[in-house]
Structure 1
Amino acid sequence: MKFFNHITIPAVLAATVLLVSACKENFLDVVPTDRVSDASILSDSVLFEAYVTNRYMGTRLTEKEAEGTLPGFGRGFEYALWSSVTDESIYNNDDNTWLIQRGQLAPENTGIAGTIWGRSYRSIREINYALANVDKVPMSEGRKRNLKAELQFIRAFRYHDLIRNYGRVVLLGDKVYEISDNLTSPELFTRSDIKAGIDYAVAQLDEAIAGLPATNTNSWALGRATKGAAMALKARMLLYGASPLYNAATWQAAAAAAKAVMDLNQYSLSSGGYGPMFTTTSYNSEIIFGRLYAQGARHVCLEIANGPNSYNAWGGNVPLQNMVDAYEMAATGLPISNPVSGYNPQNPYVGRDPRFYATILYNDAPYRNSIIQTFTPGGKDSKDGPSNWNTSKTGYYLKKFMNDNLPIDNPWDIAGTQTWIYFRLAEVLLNYAEAQNEAVGPDASVYAAVNAIRQRPGVNMPALPTGLTQIQMRERIRNERRVELAFEEHRYYDVRRWKIAPQTENAPAYGVEINKTGNAYTYKAKEALTGRSFSEKQYWLPIPRAEIQASNNQLEQNPGY
């Protein structure tokens, strides 16, 4: 069953509003059979709570957004992950990602990045509708207080997604725009500065924190917001705000917000190892907020979408050599570029950070009672193997998130049940370390936060060397984020907020060619995707042309587009 309010459209799309208005006026006497009326929702507490729950989802606006299950806040488990518009991976079969990698984004051609603006504002209007009417619903005042806080969290998340992608956004407050309103008013299309947007979202989160439960128990199902989730989102927003691209908050405030989450003492780094955390179908001690997927329902089947070609899988999001090279040597804790690290370029996959083995499938990696063979000639997971149209263009396949116990052949209604993690403790620790280092330098608490991650169960990397300068610590933290949070939709935003994208996103998209002669391998770098490019305007996404036109050209486009 679907739970919609009477107009489910982006509040700022005046032209679309008018179109829906015309349709609505012509069919007032028709009772839809696939939706519930406003009156029913507002008179039934069960229906209203279902309406609130559905705000964690969105409308499927493009072909490849999810499968069966509606899209969540972020992209999450979809065919082309957000990593494939960064230097982490490329999407083997494009799916509208290559144009972003090649710097060809335009308001008329947004690739997989075209739905964020419309979906976010649609959700904000739906949330405003719920907040405006919750007091009419027959339920206890305590329950209403909880639901209001939950809705404020969701709304803040939507603004967070808008701000990190577009910069300046339209702040709509609590108003629920109706067809009878003046939908050409400039207030619908005036973009606030970044600081105002962050301040608004943070204020919403402060209110939400006061009303949300500490844990999801009893009637609060797993997968719904808690105090910790709102606090983690606040910490992320303030970290972004303090970063060079935003310059809209202080490092001190960002550090304090992350420390507040740590001081809850409610979360701990997963004791079950690094890799298994990403295949869980429930929460563990590290997950602060995630999206659970129902068993027995159609989902994006990660294993077939990303697995190697010899297993009848489709390749999907294939890691770049750029990403592989970020993993340090386990024995020394040094980058492979350091001549005393212990790295052997003739045996490049031996002795690396354990997170490498949990994240990336490489030549000779054990996999499903066999081994990966990306070498040529004759490697079963190379172009010489079966289903060679799905052969990795980089020489690597994605391991992270993949559950080897789920089928690749005929996975429908079985696979794709992994929890998508939006916030976990490791991110909060890294947020704190970065903000604290920028605020006061590499004090003992910065070392403690980073080393806790490096020495987490199943990783056990050497502690950072003492005596690092602030600049040296900054580089170590940035690389730690890269490997710890790989493929979790952070890298795209990190390189932009640090303003290092001209370096990282203009670097070629490297892969590896492996030639086998007898029992020996030789390794040669190759360019897996040509034309990779980044220009200044790409710090922000373009607002889709349709949104500009719907505003009668009142909505200001981002610079350079």
Structure 2
Amino acid sequence: MRKTAVYKYVAGLLCFGAIVSGCEKDYLDVDPTDRVSDAAILTDSVLFEAYVVNRYLGAKVIGNEGDAYQPGFGRGFEYAMWSSITDESIYNNDDNSWLVQQGQLSPENLGMAGAVWSRSYRSIREVNYALTHIEELEMSTERTERLRAELRFIRAFRYHDIIRNYGKAVLIGDRVSSLDDDLTDPFWFDRRPIAECMAYVLGELEEIAPGLPLNNSGEYPEGRATRGAALALKSRLALYAASPLYNDGAGDSQKWAAAAQAASEVMDLGIYSLYPDYQELFTAESSNGEYIFARFYNLNARHLALEIANGPNGYGGWGGNIPLQNLVDDYEMEDGTAFSWDNPEHAEAPYENRDPRFYATILYNGASYRGRSVETFVPGGRDSQEGNDNWNTSKSGYYLNKFIREDLPIINPWDVAGVQNWIYFRYGEILLNYAEAQNEAVGPDESVYSAVNAIRNRPGVEMPALPEGLSQSEMRERIRHERRIELAFEEHRFYDVRRWMIADETENEPAYGITITKNTDGSLEYERKTALEGKSFSEQHYWLPIPRTEILASDNQLEQNPFY
């Protein structure tokens, strides 16, 4: 059967549109629908459920945001990924990312980060519309409650996006604005304290989790909220709520304990496990035991073709999200020791004997790829500026390997590639959430070691266990390092360095790359270079500015973030 979903678009928090358009997706079976009215949605339970399911998507608001071709629940595989406004990578050809890297964010221009506020509140209003009218539909109590819980999960996810990007949020409850409302009412623009916002969203997730199924199956296929998804979102938010950024620069021991408990609730479900192949985890088309909540793609709903968008220029790729030397240097040696350019053995062969996750994540000079070795050296390297399509040459000397599949084409990938799934929550994150929170709450007990070592020891990675006897501060640094490596390019680094309040250090480091010179005798020389000039971070950048258009639309009632 043809699988179709229904999109409902509205003009934002304070406007309403009555048109619903159809678009093919992979996780809902309904009759094909082109255009339907609000009245039809509210009298047809199948159309209403289609409306609910499509709240897992988001309108494409700006430029390439919205997952290029198909609107995504969050961002996912856009041209410039969220990693490219951190010290993980830069986007080779800008795509409105450089102004963020260079500290030029302003309420008038947020670059690639400009859609979060409007997309989130648009979705919240759409959810509230459905919650307001759900009792009008003739459905079983069980189905009604399931859909209600899904809607509240989606709303919680949107609030999580607002809180982690802007801090204080406008909490509008279940209200749905209309043109008959007094839109000068301060209610619509009252940004509440962060603690209140966190308490509201965490409370929502705690309430709805029991009403969601453990697994999606039958008429509720993959891609829809489960109990684990709600608890995973609760775990992430609880971790943020305990972190220094959310507590005036200091962690909160009681909140850390609550965050550890929240992660434990996911672990205690007993249905998730670490996938034994780190690289395949991100390239498989099907689900696996590490997935908790993901966006699934199929042949009728592809995303951006990652292989051409991020591939080396010598293969016909565009460079895309290119890893920085800053990240490359942080991958340990396979024996668990730190890599150092001051170590002659390391400096002579910097890409040998590294953490296996390095090879699964980074394409480097000499890496085996599509039948030959990557050549970023000069002179003559086929993937250097002296190779083909040199305008797409990596500015850092590296290319992305995470998420990339060699069985999908680089040349002419259209209607063929773009079928990888984007994982929003996975079990590896939960283990690291638990380890961090538990260490902050009580110190590095056995359970902390167990969680981190499980990540390091998974089959195919098999890094040495952490040394015994670490202090709390030493374990803190180890856990932060593990998050950097394990979760690279998965949209965590941007928020991690901010919530830890170390972004003024990490994001003021130059964006480094490497120049590799091949001598006539075949030996290689390595010289660090700056891949993007002007990298800068200031105090105000701990939060995004609220777009000026939103401030003006509120008649200046909406409070702007500090220093903007």
Q: TM-score, normalised by structure 2?
A: 0.94
Match of 1:250 in 2: 255
What is the match of residue 268 of structure 2?
263
Task: Check the 8 A contact 1:68/1:298 in 2, yes or no.
Answer: no
1:414 pairs, out of 413, 416, 419, with 416
Aligned in 2, Cα 1:453/1:550: closer, same or farther, shift over 3 Å? same
Q: Are 2:383 and 1:381 aligned?
A: yes
- Aligned residue in 2 for 1:527: 530
8 Å Cα contact 1:382/1:392 also seen in 2: yes
Q: Is the 8 A contact 1:120 1:159 kept in 2?
A: yes
Aligned residues of 1:290 and 1:419 also touching (Cα < 8 A): yes
Give the Cα–Cα distance (whole angstroms) in 2 for the partners of residues 539 and 93 of structure 1. 25
Checking the alignment, whether the CA contact within 8 Å between 2:70 and 2:302 is kept in structure 1 is no
The answer as to 2:239 corresponding to 1:239 is: yes
Q: State the match for 1:109 in structure 2.
A: 109
Residues in 2 aligned to 1:558 and 1:546: alpha-carbon distance in whole angstroms: 14
Describe the superposition over 1:128-154 as per-residue Cα deviations: whole angstroms up to 9, x where unpaired. 011111111111110011000001100
Deviations, residues 287-344 of structure 1 (Å, cap 9, x unaligned): 111000121444210000000001111000000000001100112x11114978x951
Deviation of 1:366 (Å): 0.2
* Cα deviations by residue, 1:507-553 (Å, 9 ceiling, x for unpaired): 00000000001210000000000000000000000000000000011
Tell whether 2:136 aligns with 1:131. Answer: no
- 2:546 corresponds in structure 1 to 543
| 1:428-467 aligned within 5 A | 428-467=430-469
Alignment counterpart, residue 286 of structure 1, candidates 290, 296, 320 = 290
Please say if residues 299 and 412 of structure 1, whose CA atoms lie closer than 8 Å, have aligned partners that are also in contact. Answer: no
- Compared CA separation, residues 66 and 9, structure 1 to 2 (3 A): closer
The structural deviation recorded for 1:345 is 0.8
Compute the displacement of 1:210 (Å): 1.8
The answer as to whether partners of 1:9 and 1:125 remain within 8 angstroms in 2 is: no
The answer to which of 291-300 and 157-166 deviates more is 291-300
Q: Which residue of 2 aligns with 1:491?
A: 493
Q: SS where residue 266 of structure 1 aligns?
A: coil
Describe the superposition over 1:397-417 as per-residue Cα deviations: whole angstroms up to 9, x where unpaired. 000000110011111111111
Structure 1 residues 543 and 358, CA, compared in 2 at 3 Å: closer, same or farther? same
1:89-238 pair list within 5 angstroms? 89-238=89-238
Read off the aligned partner of 2:159 and give its amino acid letter.
Y
**Kept in 2: contact 1:2–1:35 (CA 8 A):** no
Partner of 1:425: 427
Residue 65 of structure 2 contacts residue 115 of structure 2 at CA under 8 Å; is this kept in 1? no
Structure 2 distance, partners of 1:377, 1:339, is 25
State the match for 2:562 in structure 1: 559
| 2:525 aligned counterpart, secondary structure | strand
Partner of 1:26: none
Tell me the distance in 2 between the aligned counterparts of 1:70 and 1:190. 33
* Cα drift, residue 436 of structure 1: 0.3
C-alpha separation in 2, matches of 1:438 and 1:557: 32
Partner of 1:295: 299
> 5+ unaligned residues in a row in structure 1: which ranges?
24-32
SS at match of 2:123: helix
Q: Distance in 1 between the 2:439 and 2:182 partners?
A: 49
Q: CA RMSD in A?
A: 1.7
Q: Distance in 2 between matches of 1:124 and 1:353?
A: 42
User: Which ranges of structure 2 fall in alignment gaps of 5 or more residues?
Assistant: 20-32
**Structure 1 residue 364 corresponds to structure 2 residue 366:** yes
Three-state SS of the structure 2 residue aligned to 1:513 is strand
For 1:70, the aligned partner's letter is Q
Partner Cα separation in structure 2 for residue 543 and residue 385 of structure 1: 43
1:68 Cα deviation after fit: 6.5
Alignment of 1:279-358 (within 5 A): 279-331=283-335, 333-337=336-340, 344-358=346-360
Letter in 2 for 1:120: S
CA distance in 2, matches of 1:241, 1:338: 38
CA distance in 1 between partners of 2:362 and 2:128 (Å): 42
- Residues 363 and 372 of structure 1 are in contact (CA less than 8 Å); yes or no, is this contact kept in structure 2? yes
Measured in 2, the distance between the counterparts of 1:338 and 1:405 equals 35
**1:343–1:448 CA distance, 2 compared to 1 (3 A):** farther
- Which amino acid in structure 2 is aligned with residue 418 of structure 1? Q
- Distance in 1 between residues matched to 2:203 and 2:416, nearest whole Å: 41
Letter in 2 for 1:316: G
What CA distance in whole angstroms lies between the structure 2 residues aligned with 1:406 and 1:3? 29
Residues 214 and 297 (structure 1 numbering): CA distance in 2 closer, same or farther, change over 3 Å?
Answer: closer
Deviating more after overlay: 58-67 vs 427-436: 58-67
Aligned counterpart, 1:45 = 45
Q: Secondary structure at the match of 1:161?
A: helix
1:203-246 deviation line (CA, Å, top 9, x unaligned): 11112202111100111110111000000000000000000000
- Cα distance between partner residues in 2 of 1:412 and 1:406: 10
Check whether the contact 1:325–1:336 (CA below 8 A) recurs between aligned residues. Answer: yes
**Structure 1 residues 63-102: aligned runs within 5 Å:** 63-66=63-66, 69-102=69-102
Specify which of 497, 514, 517 is matched with residue 515 of structure 1. Answer: 517
Structure 2 SS opposite 1:229 = helix
Q: Is the 8 A contact 1:394 1:511 kept in 2?
A: yes
Rounded to whole Å, the distance in 2 between the matches of 1:348 and 1:2 is 49
What does residue 54 of structure 1 align with?
54
Change (3 A) 1:305 1:102: same
Q: CA deviation at 1:10?
A: 2.3
Q: CA deviation digits over 1:357-391, x for unaligned, max 9?
A: 00000000000111100000000000000000000
CA distance in 1, matches of 2:365, 2:342: 24
**2 CA distance for matches of 1:191 and 1:183?**
15
Question: 1:171 Cα shift?
Answer: 0.4
Contact 2:58 2:74 in 1 (8 A): no
In 2, Cα distance between the equivalents of 1:451 and 1:417? 31
Write the distance in 2 (CA, Å) between the matches of 1:265 and 1:302: 33
> Residue 150 of structure 2 aligns to a residue in which SS?
helix
Counterpart-to-counterpart distance in 1, 2:466 and 2:201: 35
Native 8 Å contact 2:435 2:452 kept in 1 = yes
Mean Cα displacement is larger for which, 104-113 or 56-65?
56-65
**Secondary structure of residue in 2 paired with 1:318:** strand
Residue type of the alignment partner of 1:269: L
CA, structure 1 residues 446+160, in 2 after alignment: closer, same or farther (shift >3 Å)? same
